[in-house]
Every structure is written in structure tokens, then in C-alpha cells.
Structure 1
């Protein structure tokens, strides 16, 4: 059912049907997936994995480390949520020889958006990392259909504050433990390990950034990978905003842009937290994520050729 069809239905139907669909569209590749940005990494960067039901999917192989080595392909895949995959998408994932899929979403996100669709026999690890209520706040704002309430919830820099809180929350003891365990999993992966959150850009983006830096990829390159989500998600995110406006759900859907994007300012919040809380990135790996030197060495040996 399209948004303009739903918008003509009763208000009670709107409250039941529009809100889950709108929030799902914020994260899934169901809007404009076929028109998503092409692989923007270029030579020496990661390979985009084209799927119809997810738009922010890529193999982290191909990046160069400080010493000229190369990150292996077929080891680490990052993505957005996999609940909207088509049968063809599932078949394509099956060709990647996935060893494990790590789902970083909260139970509320999984309930609203649906469990992952995975190839038969691929183990799923549910490792929820708190989003500080971002998903619920976005759900509430869209579902209200009230421009005044939407402005109050997201306008005047409030959306940016929500995102800042998300990045600061990466340093709670629970989040540090779960990010650390995910890095350990990558140190031990034989075939590919895929990890994802909802949009594949914040929790997933931070885990990717940390992993790349831990194996010797320059900070600037890891940062570029983080920002690449904006290109991969651009078409789907813009299409969502257009449909929300057309359907009368949001008078000003641009209020969602700070929640849809990754920004250097967001990443800098986490990087500054590393420096202020641990002193440097190396101590963050050992004291923050609980990785010993042997695990870090094993991670690099496993992921770098």
C-alpha cells in the first residue's frame, strides 16, 4: 500500500499502518533501492553489495593499511537491516558464505521492522546496542502527523542532540562490552561475518570505523568509509521524505535529515570521547573494549593480507 493511499484512509487506520511503514522506510531499501548511489569508493575501496531490500551493504575489503597491506575481501560485511530482503537478495547473501550475522538492533527495532531474512543455516547473534530511544522518538514524531509536535521533537537542533546522545552512548559499559565482543568475533571469523543495525550507519558505522583503525587503516580512510553511508542511503532517504510530504504525514520532512545522515560532527563526538576517557585509540581498544594484544594481532592477521 502506498503512502497516498494510506493517507486517504481513516485516522485510526493511519495510526496503525502508516507509522510502522514510515519508520521501516527510514531504514530499509524498499524506497528507491534500485536507484541507490553506485559504488562510490572507487579503486582500492570496498565493494558495494547490491540488494533490493537493503541499500547500505558493502564488503570492507580493499582498503589499504598504513604499511601498504590490503584488507581482505569476504571477511567483514556491514549493512542496514535485513528484514525486507527479497528471495533473490537472500539467495545472493547465500553466495557470500556468511559465517555469522550480528544484529545490533534493539528489541523494539526488531519488533517494528521485522527479523532478518537470512540464508538457511546462517547463525544470527542478537547483540542489542542501545540507541538511547532514537528509534522511538522518530516513530513518535512521524506518527503524530502534527507539524507543531514534529518541530518540537526534532527542530531547533533537537534532532542533532538526539544523534549526539547516540554517539555518547557508545561508551556505556554495556555498549563497550558488546562492541568489544563484536571485534573479537571478527578476529575469529573464517568466512564472512556480517553486522548491522537499522540504517547501517551509526552503531554499524562506529564498529566499522573502530575495526578498520584497529587493523591499521588510516583514520582518514576509516572516516571516509563512515561517511559513505550518506551516498548509499541518499536516494532511499530522499524518496521517503518526498512520500511523507505527499501523504500528508510530515509538513517538513527535512526535519528527519539529521537523523538520516551520518556527519563528521557525530563521529567526532565518539572520537573525542575516546581521547578524553582513554587518552588514545590504543588504550580505548585495550581498556575500553577489553581487547588484549594477542586479539588485536589476531584481528589484523585474520583481516589483512
Structure 2
């Protein structure tokens, strides 16, 4: 997958103010893919349903704690195991990092993801040793109040309410089909909503220049972190089939299940497909989504990719 990023021409993004960083380290809230070429559109339509049947490769499932021992640098080291924090894993996957379409690898030990950061004492000590510089919390205020992130002393905490609501949506009582339809609607909104575009743009802009390592945290309902990670992997030029399999790892590293409350429903390939379809339908390609939708300058996208790959 080759992504060409054209010059930044978005008057909307130039006019829109980026979210300010308050003195307490929190980002204030504001209201608000056939990727670069035609063959990519066909790939988006056919790949996700196929991958739903293929399962996750063992090399992907080793992303937490990794099995690769090809060297002694950060790119080759096992991901620290933070067992008390659900879905904690390295964006880059297992060593030596996810392969990109142009022969590079996603940089490991740079960006991590997880659910609410409520570690045990032992895991908190491990997180301190990791020297995380920034924790980006994408949850709603109600989720944060119920389980505040325990940010390491090395890191600044930034709260970015992607959904833009006081509390997450309720899926209580929904059966599988109804839940799937509701989640697809929310995933389309992650791509098309004005608030969501503003928040994801602010997140990526901050990541482009923030010192690593970084951690993105979220809740267990609508997987707002999942779309952030998919975007970062797309920018890194990771093949779509790897991105979908990485997304599905959430079900392997989190206790999930459809019940009467549906607090942590399993993720489905259809959710990511809905987001890709919304990206195509609203923007046509990834470059236009990043620049016009999220308001990123082409230089910011270049810095992001430079940080994400080795």
C-alpha cells in the first residue's frame, strides 16, 4: 500500500483552532478508505469479511510479551507485560514490528494502547520504568470518573473526549444484530463527526511532536482507541489485512462477551469496515481525510510517518 500525501490545502483546517493544552495537562474539549488510489477501494470492500474467517496469526498474538528474540534493542525487546491492565499492547506489534508495504517496520516501544490505566502496584512500577511521556485518555468524563487513569510520574495526562458526550452510549439489552448495527453507526461517526475529527486531529498532531514512549487509553464500549491505532498504522503504510488482524486482537487481550449489559462487547471486523466505508464515502482517500477532515498539515503527516517507521 503506497500512500501519497499531497500538499496541505484545507481552508477548514486552517480556520479551525487546534485544541489548547491547559496548565493541568488536559486538552480542553471543543465541539466539533480506499486509500490513495482506485485499486485500494476494491481491497477495502473485500478484505474485512475474509479476515473475519481467517483468525489472528500467532505472530500477531505475541504482541503482548512478544516471542521474537532477534536483537537487544527496543525494536527487538518483548513488550512489557502489564497483566492488570486490559488490552495493553504495543502499536508496533511483536518484534521486529509490523511490516509496511514499502519494506519498513512499525517502530516498537514508541506508542502503546490499553483500556483504563488502573495497574497493580507491580505493574505501576513497570510503567514507571518505561518512562511514558504522555498518556492520552480518549474516554468520556463518566468513564474517567469511574476509573481514573493512574498516570506514571514520568508522563503528562491529556484527556480527549472523542465521543463528545458526558457518558458512553448504552448497549444494554441489545441482541447481536442490533448491537452490530449500533456499533457500525458509532464507528461511522468516529470518521465523520465534527467533534471526532477535531479530537483525532489534535491527538495525531500532538503525537507527531511528543517525545516517546506514549500511551493511548480508552474504554470498553465504542473502541475509540481502535480507530486511532488503525489511523496510525495506515499512516505507517501497514497493509490493511494486518491492520484488521491487529484490531481483532482486542478480543484476545480483553474479557469480552455479549450479555444483557454489553459493557465490553467483542469487536467485529464490520466496525472497522464501517469506518473505512465512511472515510471513502466522505473523503475519497486517506490523504484528504487527514488534511481536510482532521486538519493536519502535510508536514505533520510526514513527521508522523517518520516517527512511526524504521
Find out whether 1:50 has 2:85 as its counterpart.
no
- Whole-Å Cα distance in 2 between the matches of residues 156 and 88 of structure 1? 38
User: What is the CA–CA distance in structure 1 between the aligned matches of 2:124 and 2:141, rounded to whole Å?
Assistant: 22
Counterpart residue number, 2:157: 124
Unmatched runs of 5 consecutive residues or more in structure 1: 1-37, 142-149, 239-252
The two structures, once aligned, show a CA RMSD in angstroms of: 2.7
Give the CA deviation at 1:254. 3.6
What's the secondary structure of 1:191's corresponding residue?
A: coil
Q: Deviations over 1:178-200 (max 9, x none)?
A: 11111112211322111111139
Q: Which residue of structure 1 aligns with residue 170 of structure 2?
A: 137
Residue 295 in structure 1 maps to residue 300 in structure 2: yes
Q: Distance in 2 between the 1:76 and 1:298 partners?
A: 15
TM-score when normalising by structure 1: 0.70
Shift of 1:259: 5.1
Residue 112 of structure 2 aligns with which residue? Answer: 77
Query: Aligned pair in 2 of structure 1 residues 255, 49: CA closer, same or farther (>3 Å)?
Result: farther
SS at match of 1:67: coil
**Among 265, 269, 273, the residue aligned to 1:264:** 269
Q: Give how far 1:103 is off.
A: 0.2
Q: Deviations over 1:145-189 (max 9, x none)?
A: xxxxx3xxx126332233122212212111111111111122113
Which ranges in structure 2 are unaligned for 5 or more consecutive residues? 1-59, 69-74
Indicate if the aligned counterparts of 1:201 and 1:229 stay in contact, CA closer than 8 A: no
Deviation by residue 1:263-298 (Cα, 9 ceiling, x = unmatched): 111111110000000011221111111112111111
Report how far residue 52 of structure 1 moved: 3.4
User: 1:1-305 counterparts in 2 under 5 A?
Assistant: 39-41=61-63, 48-61=79-92, 62-82=97-117, 84-112=118-146, 114-130=147-163, 135-138=168-171, 141=172, 150=173, 154-155=174-175, 157-170=177-190, 171-199=192-220, 202-233=223-254, 236-237=255-256, 254-255=259-260, 260-305=265-310
Alpha carbons 1:80, 1:198 under 8 Å: kept: yes
Residues 168 and 270 in structure 1, CA contact (< 8 A), matched pair in contact too: yes
- Quote the Cα distance in structure 1 between the aligned partners of 2:217 and 2:302: 24
**For residues 256 and 131 of structure 1, what CA distance do their matches in structure 2 show?**
22
- Range with greater deviation from structure 2 (253-262 or 219-228): 253-262
Quote how far apart the aligned CAs of 1:222 are: 1.4
Give the structure with the larger helix fraction: 1
Work out whether residues 65 and 71 of structure 1, in 8 Å CA contact, stay in contact via their aligned partners in 2.
yes
* Shift in Å, 1:203: 0.7
Would you say the 8 A contact 1:104–1:129 is kept in 2? yes
The DSSP-based 3-state class of the residue aligned with 1:135 is coil
Distance 1:187 1:294, change over 3 A: same
Check whether the contact 2:198–2:294 (CA below 8 A) recurs between aligned residues.
yes
The CA distance in 2 between the partners of 1:268 and 1:190, in whole Å, is 32
Counting matched residue pairs gives: 237
Are 2:101 and 2:238, in contact at CA under 8 Å, matched by a contact in 1? yes
Greater gyration radius: 1
Partners of 1:40 and 1:193 in 2: CA distance: 20
SS in 1 for 2:113: strand
Distance in 1 (alpha carbons) for counterparts of 2:181 and 2:263: 9
